[in-house]
Amino acid sequence: MPNNLYQTAVLGAGTMGHGIAQVMALAGHEVRLYDPQPQAHDKARQAIAKNLALCVEMGLNSDEQAASCLEHISHHTDLATACLEAGLIVESVPEDMELKRGLYASLEELVPPETILCTNTSALSISELARDLKHPDRFVGTHFWNPAQVMPCVEIIKGERTSLDTFERVVEIIRKAGKEPVKVLKDLPGFLGNRMQHALQREAMSLVEQGVASAEDVDRVVQHGFGLRLALMGPMERADMGGLDITLKVQNYLLPYLDDRTTASPMLEKQVAVGRLGLKTGAGFFEWPADKAARIVSQRDRALLSIIMLKRGLPKP
């Protein structure tokens, strides 16, 4: 295994990539951020500086730490230069199986067999992504949650041919970076978090389609109901606290009534077909004018950081 794990390349400077670069640089890694598009680097620099300013304002980082973080991130449009001497590479390019496989083929020509390769996919099979690799034992999934610089959870997914040594090494790297590594021991589509998240979304969309409640009220019952508990206890602990006998009775009664479709919601398909893709197009299930979108994202990040600080017992800024 490589000794230069603190020399890290992050491939892709988009929404997730620049956040991952920030996380690793704050942890003391020399980060080379790669993207073939110069404008992506301009946006990434601005986003990282803005993210760090918020962390400093809230007392999570000092001015010195923020300055050091920026100094530890270099920007590259050449893949070979970005990966030079890297002991750890984190890929964060779009969710396209063939695009990612093509990138890995290029990487295997550029880096030695001991370099650890990580993919930030949120759902694609780690084993399928590694299908054509010459050294699949050094390949592992690292699913950071959006926004990567804020959310503590990182799912570490072991592919069928990922070595135990690689898997445990990456778990420790992520832990030392201040994140909460979650071990996913079997490579299943969607891993842990997205399987549960999409099960919830399927039921939510079904309820709106049936006219049971508006999209606003479906979200409201989550935000002001059970969603408040989720930051403090997961579904397994909640079941224990509520009583497993009660949970058993409720499940036996309720589960037959829940949506069990294996295809996407027709309502979702209709929204996508007419170009209503959500925040990025200004409209989806809700309307997203630019000023509202910026305000909501800022409020979200501040609230998430406040919750994280509360859970860690840190003083309020």
Residue 6 per-residue DSSP state: T
Are residues 157 and 37 located together in one domain of the fold? yes
**Which pLDDT belongs to residue 2?**
55
Residue 258 per-residue DSSP state: S
On the question of pLDDT at 1 being above 70, the answer is no
**Which pLDDT belongs to residue 312?**
84
On the question of pLDDT at 3 being above 60, the answer is no
Range(s) of the domain holding residue 225: 193-286
Contact predicate 187/125, CB 8 Å: yes
Contact predicate 117/139, CB 8 Å: yes
Where does 12-130 show beta strands of DSSP type E? Answer: 30-34, 73-76, 88-91, 116-119
Are residues 242 and 109 located together in one domain of the fold? no
Token couple for 45: 């620099």
Q: Which residues are catalytic?
A: 122, 143, 155, 194
Are residues 47 and 158 located together in one domain of the fold? yes
Are residues 240 and 169 located together in one domain of the fold? no
Q: In whole angstroms, what is the distance from residue 33 CA to residue 300 CA?
A: 26
For the chain, percent of residues with pLDDT exceeding 70: 98
Are residues 125 and 198 located together in one domain of the fold? no
**Which pLDDT belongs to residue 31?**
98
Are residues 249 and 148 located together in one domain of the fold? no
Give domain status of residue 23, yes or no: yes
Are residues 135 and 207 located together in one domain of the fold? no
On the question of pLDDT at 120 being above 90, the answer is yes
What average pLDDT does the chain have? 95
Contact predicate 107/89, CB 8 Å: yes
| CATH code: domain of residue 91 | 3.40.50.720
On the question of pLDDT at 306 being above 80, the answer is yes
On the question of pLDDT at 43 being above 70, the answer is yes
Q: What is the pLDDT of residues 126-156, one digit of tens each?
A: 999 999 999 999 999 999 999 999 999 999 9
Give domain status of residue 28, yes or no: yes
- Going by pLDDT thresholds of 50, 70 and 90, the confidence category of residue 317 is low
Are residues 202 and 180 located together in one domain of the fold? no
**Which pLDDT belongs to residue 315?**
77
Contact predicate 117/97, CB 8 Å: no
Give domain status of residue 274, yes or no: yes
**Which pLDDT belongs to residue 132?**
96
Give domain status of residue 165, yes or no: yes
Q: Which of 57, 67, 127 is nearest to 97 (CA)?
A: 127
Give domain status of residue 311, yes or no: no
On the question of pLDDT at 258 being above 70, the answer is yes
Among 155, 184, 213, the domain-final residue is 184
Among 139, 167, 184, the domain-final residue is 184
Q: What is the pLDDT of residues 81-110, one digit of tens each?
A: 999 999 999 999 999 999 999 999 999 999
Residue 78 per-residue DSSP state: -
Are residues 22 and 164 located together in one domain of the fold? yes
Cα dihedral 216, 296, 144, 51 in deg (nearest 10): -170
On the question of pLDDT at 316 being above 80, the answer is no
Q: Which of 55, 48, 51, 56 is nearest to 31 (CA)?
A: 48
Q: What is the pLDDT of residues 215-237, one digit of tens each?
A: 999 999 999 999 999 988 999 99
What's the average model confidence in pLDDT over 48-65? 95
Give domain status of residue 316, yes or no: no
What's the average model confidence in pLDDT over 18-27? 97
What's the average model confidence in pLDDT over 256-270? 97
**Which pLDDT belongs to residue 220?**
97
Are residues 61 and 203 located together in one domain of the fold? no
Burial class (CB in 10 A: 0-12, 13-18, 19+), 242: exposed
Give domain status of residue 73, yes or no: yes
The 10 Å Cβ neighbour count of residue 144 is 24
Alpha helices by DSSP H, listed for 27-74, are 38-57, 63-71
Give domain status of residue 291, yes or no: no
| CATH code: domain of residue 261 | 1.10.1040.10
**Which pLDDT belongs to residue 5?**
74
Are residues 180 and 259 located together in one domain of the fold? no
Are residues 126 and 244 located together in one domain of the fold? no
How many Cα neighbours within 13 Å face the side chain of 219?
Answer: 5
Among 154, 184, 214, the domain-final residue is 184
- Number of compact structural domains in the chain: 2
Residue 32 per-residue DSSP state: E
